[in-house]
Structure 1
Amino acid sequence: MPDILDWSGSDLERLELEAFEGRSNEMAARMREEVAAGRLPFLSMPYMDGLLEQLDGLQDYLAGFEHMLLLGIGGSALGARALQKAFFPRQDQPCHDGPWLWIADNVDSYALESYMAKLPPEKTVVVTVSKSGGTIETVGQYFIIRDWMRGRIGDDWTEHMLLVTDEKAGFLRKEADENAIRTLPVPDNLGGRYSVLSAVGLVPALFLGMDVRALVDGAREMAAPLADPGLDGEALAKLPSFDLAVWANGLMRAGYDQLIFFSYIPLWASFGDWFAQLWAESLGKEGKGSQPIAAIGATDQHSVNQMFLDGPRNKACLFLTCPTLPAGPRFPENLPDAFDYVRGKEFGELIQAEGMGTRMALQKNGVPLVEMRMEHDDPRQAGKLIALLGAATILAGWLMDINPLDQPAVELGKRLAKARLGADGLPEETADLADFLTSQRDEREF
């Protein structure tokens, strides 16, 4: 049974898709041009063979540690966490005895102090991830952890550091060169939200013992047709990533400005957070885009699903399922009569029934829905899903006539934060900050 996109509930017939479908030749030409120019390494993956060799050489080194502390934020952490939750669930289960991956992805003094108080530095490797080498939330944590390591271990502190950053430029590259710290590169033109299939996501995956090559093979299978130098409009129009991009644009034109990512693969729920950044940061530009909403089945049937089903009709849904999830234990036979419908059934049947019920209810209530039905919940299928959604996002942005690879609005908040901390070279932001701090406030106690 292959992986399937089920379009039965997508409302294709009600959406105006012809204008977007008719741009397949244009999109194929752009894809060929961008791939040839090296601007889409997420799809072409020219770095991958070399990276896999480097990862093979790191296995023995990483095996010498019990803990990995990953310093990263946004795309430098969300993919790693999704892989951890999906394929290393035992860290969250009773009596786990290692290895442990800890992800410091926020400006959280409680967490940072806890790591320094409780992690054994001699058994810990610190992986700092920042393409630019200047992400203050990440580099700020690096400064503090670096001093902690120096104080606890002494001259051997560099043996407990691994930097994932630009190959040539930035503070972390300079830090690596000056202190002979191990590094792995983030390829040029590979933005954080597209970087899970690089050292950013694969180093923690390797540390936890995941099948990294299966993950990569799945992604390559999905991406190869898009990176083909002979790609034409006819071939592109047959690819699922283009179908999803066209559908998304039809939805937005019809006023569906929210896109639910509903995961009925419980261990894959964190892919919803990964997708939310991918979609929002790529497509939320120039007053355009649709708001991604991560939801977990069956948990969110009992929380936000009421809004999905009976709120404003502005929502569509990507619905993630897998019919081959573990069966689990059986319900006992000696149940009260009110629960006789599950007597003797396998526990795993419940999530499948819940998923079908929710999918049908969403469709019945007018929510356009595409089911992404994975053959298995294994790393290869995860790689396919990552590449599919990444490619669909890029194509959706091009069809919207925006750049899905930058994030200009996000940079303003970063500059204002630096101005607040007294950074030089930001005269406009410093003036805006002064105006903000001296403006009349409407503050009320509660």
Structure 2
Amino acid sequence: MPHTLEWSQAYTHRLSKNNARAVAARQADLSQRLAYETAAGALPFLTMSYREKLVVELPLVLPRLKICKHMLVLGIGGSALGARAIQRAFAPGQDGPEHQGPWLWIADNVCAQTFDAWLSKLNPAETVVVCISKSGGTIETLAQYFLACDWLKTAFGRNWTQRMIVITDKTKGYLREEALRHALISLEVPNCLGGRYSALSAVGLLPAAFLGIDWQSLLDGAADVARPLTQNPSNIGSHPAFALACWAHELEVHQYSQLVFFCYIPTWSAYGLWFAQLWAESLGKKSMGTMPVPATGVTDQHSVNQMFLDGPRNKGCLFLTSRVQAAGRNFGTDLPEQWAWLRGKAFGSLLEAESLGTRMALSESGVPLVHLEMHDTSPRAAGALMMLLEAATLFTGWLMDINPLDQPAVELGKRLANARLGATGYLQEEADLFAFLSAAKKEQHF
């Protein structure tokens, strides 16, 4: 059975369906653009042109992993968020009591305390390290790579290379040079596949395969959604990803500055963080874009939902549920009389009721809301959702007349950090740092 987008509460408050129809009138031009860019190989996340090679190469790596209980992933941003979302959705056991493995550890931050603890406590004989960077030059990831190499060399000597895998560009970058220099096992991040669009490549699927997750089904679900677009771009106007893009564009036009991703599939809550990077890094450009706000039901009903319901009227909402979720244990028939209405009901019935209540409350508060209802919570369903959101992000950027595939603003901070650490070739950044650090401070102590 299909998954569903429900639109009855989408065009409310300041939004107008007529304006959305005007935007949709651009679909002829955008369908031509879609046809051109897919043919040119500029949208590999959508065409999945890398899949045939991946399904051959990834299984060849897996025998190397069978002797390992732990995978330590070195990666940040798009090199980490997809893998974490997939793990928490489909291999949550490692976060529970008495788990026997395998374990996935993702070093996605510069936290010396955590990284030192992991290298001190993980057994190298049971661990494989996977270093992920599309460019091969991400400073945070390379710093971890250098330390992890020393850790492996101490344990294995010359054989350290047997426990290191890199996922990077096919031909260029420092990690590719390292792979060639040391004959490291490697998988590629295809050309034109940016990090935030790479979760359904080796970047996210090697960790998934290590955990025993059906990674082929993730790809199948994504392909189900992408196929109508790639096989016949002229049908873009009838695709749900384009409908979402038209709605999201209308939100911004009408001064809705935030897009809440409210997830009522608890095991999928980490997809909110994955979506936040996808949306923000793709669309936050030229003083435009809506700020993604991940929220988890029912947890955030008791934290930020007051702001959603009664704060500024600047929010739209993608509301994610599933028709099929675990029911859990039933309440006994001996509950106190004041709770008699719960007798015999399943614990999971609370989630359905809370979901409905919150969705209605948001709608009655004037929050434009699109309800995404997944038929099930299988890997195939997750792949479908990920492709839907990636395509919707792409089309929203096109409607905004910006490039949703680059991230120019974040490069400045990287250059300044490199200059601060003493890298050469950053004369202007060094001068800017000196001026910034020399400015008079206005301090207040507490």
Work out whether the TM-score is over 0.5.
yes
Aligned to 2:400: 400
Report the counterpart of residue 159 of structure 2 in structure 1: 156
1:390 aligns with 2:393: no
- Equivalent residue for 1:131? 134
Which residue does 1:419 correspond to in 2? 419
Q: Specify the code of the residue in structure 1 equivalent to 2:172.
A: A
- How many angstroms does 1:23 deviate by? 0.4
**Partner of 1:163: helix, strand, or coil?**
strand
In structure 2, distance between residues paired with 1:323 and 1:47: 32
Equivalenced residues, count: 443
Deviation at 1:18, TM superposition (A): 2.6
Q: Which residue of 2 aligns with 1:67?
A: 70
Question: Per the alignment, in what secondary structure is the counterpart of residue 5 of structure 1?
Answer: strand
For residues 69 and 203 of structure 2, what CA distance do their matches in structure 1 show?
19
Deviation at 1:224, TM superposition (A): 1.2
**TM-score normalised to structure 1 length:** 0.98
Alignment match, 2:431: 431
SS in 1 for 2:409: helix
Partner in structure 1 of residue 37 of structure 2: 34
Equivalent in 190, 215, 218 of residue 215 of structure 1 = 218
State the match for 2:247 in structure 1: 247
CA deviations on 1:120-164 (whole Å, 9 max, x unpaired) are 001100000001110000010000010011012211110000000
1:14-413 matches, cutoff 5 A? 14-15=16-17, 16-228=19-231, 230-232=232-234, 235-413=235-413
1:237 is displaced (CA, Å) by 0.8
Alpha-carbon distance in structure 2 between the residues aligned to 1:326 and 1:112: 35
User: How far apart in 2 are the matches of 1:47 and 1:187?
Assistant: 7
Q: Provide the C-alpha distance between the structure 2 equivalents of 1:435 and 1:342, rounded to a whole number of angstroms.
A: 65
What SS does structure 1 have at the residue aligned with 2:176?
helix
Determine the C-alpha separation between the residues in 2 that align with 1:110 and 1:413.
23
3-state SS of 1:260 partner: strand
- State the distance in 2 between where 1:421 and 1:222 align: 44
Distance in 2, Cα, partners of 1:342 & 1:14: 42
* 2:425 partner SS: coil
Letter paired with 2:115:
L
SS at match of 2:151: helix
Task: For residues 82-111 of structure 1, give each alpha carbon's deviation from its aligned partner in whole angstroms, at most 9, with x where no partner exists.
Answer: 000000011111100100000000001011
Question: 1: distance between equivalents of 2:390 and 2:99?
Answer: 33
Q: Deviations over 1:357-381 (max 9, x none)?
A: 0000000100010111000001000
Superposed CA deviations along residues 52-87 of structure 1, whole A, max 9, x for unmatched, are 111121222111211000000000000000000000
Quick one: distance in 2 between partners of 1:59 and 1:185? Answer: 15
| Cα distance between partner residues in 2 of 1:340 and 1:282 | 50
**Identical counterparts, % of pairs:** 54
CA distance in 1, matches of 2:62, 2:165: 13
**Structure 1: stretches of 5+ with no match in the other structure:** none
Query: Secondary structure of 1:43's partner?
Result: helix
The one-letter code sitting in structure 2 at the alignment partner of 1:394 is L
What is the CA deviation profile of residues 18-61 of structure 1, one whole-angstrom value per residue up to 9, with x for unaligned ones? 33111000110111111111110000111101101111212221
- Whichever residue aligns with residue 411 of structure 1, its letter is E
SS in 1 for 2:212: coil
Q: What amino acid sits opposite 1:14 in the alignment?
A: S
Task: Give the counterpart letter for 2:20 in structure 1.
Answer: L
- Distance in 1, matches of 2:109 and 2:371, equals 33
CA distance in 1, matches of 2:256, 2:351: 28
Q: 1:422 deviation in Å?
A: 1.2
Aligned-pair distance for 1:242?
A: 0.3
Which residue identity does 2:142 align to in structure 1? V
CA distance in 1 between partners of 2:110 and 2:99 (Å): 27
Look up the SS of the partner of 1:237 in the other structure.
helix
- Provide the C-alpha distance between the structure 1 equivalents of 2:73 and 2:352, rounded to a whole number of angstroms: 35
- Residue 82 of structure 1 aligns to which amino acid in structure 2? A
Please give the TM-score of this superposition, normalised by the length of structure 2. 0.98
Q: Secondary structure of the residue that 1:408 maps to in structure 2? A: coil
Q: Please give the alpha-carbon distance, in whole angstroms, between the structure 2 residues aligned to 1:418 and 1:255.
A: 37
- The one-letter code sitting in structure 2 at the alignment partner of 1:73 is I
SS at match of 1:385: helix
Structure-2 separation of matches of 1:134 and 1:247? 37
